[in-house]
Structure 1
Amino acid sequence: MTSQTATTNRSKLVVESSITDKKKARGKVKGTIIGPVIALVIFLSLWQSIPIVFDIKPFILPKPTDVLQAAMDDWHLLWPAIQITVTESIIGFVISAIVGIGISILLASSRILEVSLYPYAVILQTIPVVAIAPIIVIWFGSGFNSIVIISFLIGFFPVVSNTLMGLNSVDKNMGDLFTLYNASKWQTMWKLRIPAAMPYMMSGLKISCTLAIVGAITGEFIAGIGGGRGGLGYAITVAAVQLKTPYLFACAIAGAIFGIGFYLLVSSISRFMLKSWHESAMKVEK
């Protein structure tokens, strides 16, 4: 009887502990959601009040309601612009991810290649995009192709930098173990170095996805072709020239919302790939 009682008590403790953990998890989720919502409400309230109190004209500082109204009135222009920028950004990001990871693996496989080529990747990143964008337009023409290339160039370096760091940060003992079992260079790369670099790689992709959007919008300022084929960057330029400040704000906010959504999507993919084995994602899951 004593043994049965002890077993029953342990079962109750396990159940109570599980219930407590679930309550704590719900509390964390609520805290994570409620805090930003309250901050957003306060920010929007202040933004709505300041132009009214100080009698600021809408073409200088529009109210949130003015921005919303402008977005609704010009939705037939805003929605196609969003679609174009989204397409350019995603293509630029995918190319930067594929090329960046491929070049990182190539550089990590040879110390001579890394020392010889990596400095040029750094130099490419330090050149202002406004300086190289006109050259890209001359080479590839204005429009979609040039904008995608600019987006790729801006999002490329974080992928290379972070992935290469991860590939070169493998645990020495694990490397010695692979050497002990006579693993080839490429077996070590695919079965040890690339899996170990995954957290670094995903971190680089999270940075790159936001920079790709910045690159696409920046490219549209310089290489946008306008009309029904212009993205958010072109729409912002036109709105600024015409002093349509509420619509300008609407375009900028649309770009920001897309950037947040894209970042959250890449972060979700990162957690899905890392949650079963890496501490950083496991802590988030808890």
Structure 2
Amino acid sequence: MKPHTAKVLYPAIVAVILLTVWQGLVTGFKLPPYLVPSPILMLQTLVTDWQPLGLSLLFTLKITLLSFLTAVVVGVLVSFLFVQSRQVETALFPYAVLLQVTPIVAVAPLIIIWVKNPTASLVICATLVALFPIISNTTLGLRSIDPDLQSYFAMNRASRAQTLLRLRIPSALPYFFGGLRISSGLALIGAVVAEFVAGTGGTSTGLAYQILFAGYQLNIPRMFAALLLISLTGVGLFVLMAWLSKIALGSWHASELSRD
């Protein structure tokens, strides 16, 4: 079996087994839908309630993508700044760590109060969650260069810009794409958490609002349907980042050339 086929087939088999067991337990124990809905009922709810759920998905996806792109741009620029000077990195890196370890639920209310635009406040909150993996991985990649190649560039009197473009950036790409895989999922988590904290309502609502609203109404099938959309979105983002990594690294880096 081809590796690409196995990567799809094996998880699909596990998913079918888990869904079958789930359906069997719900049916066998006659669990009411307001406790645990069956997979069939969850999928039916996803179809019947697709209009509000689909609009909420688009809103959450917009916040996720905007925050992810912002995190990538800011994270790469900060990493380039760090790699230019050890003193700058030593002085500022602890504050990047501080952003990572500060719970977003603690600072999100302040950001929502300070920033009057709801969309901008949600993007800022989600960006703070997704930023650190980009900074950490890209900085590590820019630092992780072959000493012999660095000496070769120095021997040929390469400028700092030439060393950055032709040595450091190619060496950092595997680390950078690893950071993208982590950051894309964190951007989604940050968007959903920010929506929970903001309690957004009205026409511009995300999936977090659908979960809250379904919980108030004890509409547990819709809650599970919203959770399913969040999970599928996260998986889709990860697959997209893996695909981009394959395109960028597939022809030369060992991590993508391996056949095992």
TM-score class, shorter: over 0.9
Matched, 1:195 2:156: no
Instruction: Give 1:62 deviation, angstroms.
Output: 0.4
The alignment's TM-score, normalised by the length of structure 1, stands at 0.88
The aligned counterpart of 2:235 is: 260
Q: Which runs of 5+ in 1 are unaligned?
A: 1-25
Choose which of 137, 143, 148 in structure 2 pairs with 1:168: 143
| Residue 152 (structure 1) shift | 0.7
CA distance in 2, matches of 1:78, 1:168: 44
Instruction: Return the letter of the residue paired with 2:171.
Output: A
Match of 1:150? 125
Number of equivalenced pairs = 260
Instruction: Give the 5 Å matches for 1:10-21.
Output: none
Paired residue for 1:131?
106
| Matched ranges for 1:31-180 at <5 A | 31-141=6-116, 143-180=118-155
Offset from partner CA, 1:207-247 (integer Å, 9 cap, x none): 00011000111111112421221001111111111111100
* CA distances 1:131-153 after superposition (whole Å, capped 9, x unpaired): 01111111113621111111111
Secondary structure of the residue that 2:258 maps to in structure 1? helix
SS in 1 for 2:30: coil
Q: Which moved more, 1:27-36 or 1:209-218?
A: 27-36
After superposition, what is the alpha-carbon deviation per residue over 1:153-186, rounded to whole angstroms, capped at 9, x for unaligned? 1110000000001111111111111111111222
Deviation at 1:187, TM superposition (A): 1.8
Aligned to 1:216: 191
- Give the aligned residue type for 1:185: R
Give CA deviations for 1:1-44 in whole Å, capped at 9, x if unaligned. xxxxxxxxxxxxxxxxxxxxxxxxx4434433332222111111
CA distance in 1, matches of 2:142, 2:238: 23
Query: 2:202 maps to which residue?
Result: 227
Secondary structure of the residue that 1:228 maps to in structure 2?
coil
Residue 277 of structure 1 aligns with which residue?
252
What letter corresponds to residue 128 of structure 1 in structure 2? P
> Which residue identity lines up with residue 48 of structure 1 in the other structure?
Q
What residue identity is the alignment partner of 2:110? I
Percentage of pairs with the same residue? 38
Aligned to 1:245: 220
Distance 2:2 2:37 in 1: 37
Question: What letter is aligned with 1:49?
Answer: G
Give the letter aligned to residue 102 of structure 2. Answer: I
Distance in 2, matches of 1:237 and 1:63, equals 20
What letter is aligned with 2:58? Q
CA distance in 1, matches of 2:221, 2:5: 33
Corresponding residue SS for 2:158: coil
